Amino acid sequence: AAGVIQSPRHLIKEKRETATLKCYPIPRHDTVYWYQQGPGQDPQFLISFYEKMQSDKGSIPDRFSAQQFSDYHSELNMSSLELGDSALYFCASSPSRGAAGQYFGPGTRLTVT
Amino acid sequence: AQSVTQLGSHVSVSEGALVLLRCNYSSSVPPYLFWYVQYPNQGLQLLLKYTSAATLVKGINGFEAEFKKSETSFHLTKPSAHMSDAAEYFCAVSAPQNTGFQKLVFGTGTRLLVSP
């Protein structure tokens, strides 16, 4: 079965640079979520989109922005990167607002040096 | 607001022994509850979910969990541990969809260690 695709899988950036993470949801899933997982921590919700509109917002820094496109893929844009942004970034998708559970991609490991 | 508490950051069992990972939730509305498993350097895999149907939920890899409203618990069990079960397990809660909230709130995770 098709799964959530994230790219790139690994990304190394320097402080103050920008990064763009991409997420391709499972076909026919209309809701996309972004989570950040720091080392040894639980995933923290950043932002979600339903039918290309932002549906909920968590602890996402103002330096980050995201959007969902007409083909339902989503991009997380991160600017002025800081050392503390180093983390695993997960995208998850679900059908119909998440009642059936969210299905996670393999994650993008971002390292800021 | 919803939250979950996982008791025990590490649980050690012998291969073949019962696995019990504890999760208690707090929710102002009837919750949806989930267990996810994360292997090293991998994403989170959905093990099972409770969405207000049967209180005993069976998942993949022989795991099951029972929703107990009176105890606000959703503990994860498996009768016989296998070496391949060694991983990090996360309990999560989300608000039912008619409230508009969709995000998952995770517990701090429990690392399951399985010894031969």
| B102:A90 CB<8 A | no
pLDDT recorded at residue A35: 95
Task: Please report which confidence band the pLDDT of residue B98 belongs to, taking 50, 70 and 90 as the band edges.
Answer: low
Nearest to B76 by CA among B105, B40, B48: B48
**Each residue of A65-113: pLDDT tens digit?**
999 999 999 999 999 999 999 999 999 998 866 566 789 999 999 999 9
A59-94 in b/e form (b: 16+ CB < 10 A) is ebeeebebebeeebbbebebeebeeebbbbbbbbbb
A89 near B CB under 8 A = no
Please check the confidence at residue B28 and state whether its pLDDT lies above 90: no
**A49 CB near a chain B CB, below 8 Å?**
no
Q: Does the beta carbon of B45 lie under 8 angstroms from any beta carbon of chain A?
A: yes
Q: B8: how many CB neighbours lie within 10 A of its CB?
A: 13
